[in-house]
A and B are shown apart, each in its own frame.
Chain A
Amino acid sequence: MNTESIINALLGGSLIGVSAVLLMLTLGRISGINGITSGLLSLNLNRNDLWRVAFLAGLLIGPMVYMAVGGTMPEVVIEKGYSYLIAAGVLVGFGATLGSGCTSGHGVCGLARLSRRSLIATTVFLTTAMITVFLNQ
């Protein structure tokens, strides 16, 4: 790993941190993407859920803004086929909802606020993820 990638990783991570702090400061909410998304998958939506749409919209337009300010089109390499993608997606959505969070909710926000639940959750999902990658080689 070269110096440039390390710097980009630290800078990118810092931006993620800034984003999380911004959401907490303005709306008082945790930036857990699975939580924000699942809040929209409801039959009881009202005006108070509009912020979720706005946040997701912000996530979606990232690449376009990135390229507009001079960045190159982000490389997204996915070697797996559609059956893998579907299985992965269902497990991610199911698991994150059952476990009350994903990498952003538990891994970033939860650890940042020293949550015991998030420490356990993060440890568990990192472990099973690493085992999965190992078995998939």
Chain B
Amino acid sequence: MKEIAALISGLIFSLGLILSGMTNPENVIGFLNITGNWNPALAFVLMAAVVITGLGYRLAWKRSKPLFEASFSVPTSQIIDKRLIMGSAIFGIGWGLVGLCPGPALASVFTSNGVKVLVFIVAVAGGILLQRLLTLLLERKAAATV
């Protein structure tokens, strides 16, 4: 059941991205292009998504636990640190370069421009692994200097 729920959730997410035009990097860049021909679509997508999610989360959290798991896995940290800011800054640069991020990319693999999208996705995986490797190396260095 867990996997079916996840599959359906992913599918609805994908359909939402496609319907709203967010799988087209042109629309994303258009929104980020605030000094040029501005395309506000992304703002509407985000607004609707945040409102629905906000209301739905509140309802979901009235339960003591999720339907198919023992507990909710929601992050609790409230710390604003360098990692958060630097990471977000770097993510934003990458996002602004092509107008792609993980969700829309995965949702557009099976379209006519799938090859370019796939290259992006593999690079994302590379970036994730690179960040993990860097963290590991820094941790080892810190431990060694103790």
Q: Which residues of chain A have a CB within 8 Å of any CB of chain B?
A: 1, 5-6, 8-31, 33-34, 37-38, 41, 50-66, 71, 73-78, 80, 82, 84-100, 102-104, 106-109, 111-117, 120-122, 124-134, 136-137
Interface size class of B (residues with CB under 8 A): 35 or more
Partner of B111, one of A14, A41, A76, A125: A76
Write the nearest CB–CB distance from B143 to chain A, whole angstroms. Answer: 20
B73-87 interface (Cβ within 8 A of A): 73-75, 77-80, 83-87
User: A33 touching B48 by the CB < 8 A rule?
Assistant: no
Mark out the residues of chain B between 58 and 79 whose CB falls within 8 Å of any chain A CB in the assembled complex: 59-60, 63, 65-69, 71-75, 77-79
Establish whether residues B20 and A89, one from each chain, have CB atoms under 8 Å apart when the complex forms.
no
Residues on A with C-beta less than 8 A from B120 are 85-86, 88-89, 92
User: Which residues of A are found within 8 Å of B84, using beta-carbon distances?
Assistant: 99-100, 117, 120-121
Main secondary structure of the interface of B (DSSP, over half): helix
Write out the residue numbers on chain A whose beta carbons fall within 8 Å of the beta carbon of B77: 117
- Enumerate 8 A-B pairs (CB-CB under 8 Å) in ascending A order: A50-B3, A58-B8, A63-B107, A73-B112, A84-B97, A92-B120, A106-B88, A130-B32
Give Cα A17–Cα B73 distance, bound, in whole angstroms: 18
Q: Given the complex, which residues of B lie within 8 Å of A122, measured CB to CB?
A: 88
CB-CB < 8 A to A27: which residues of B? 2, 5-6, 66-69, 73
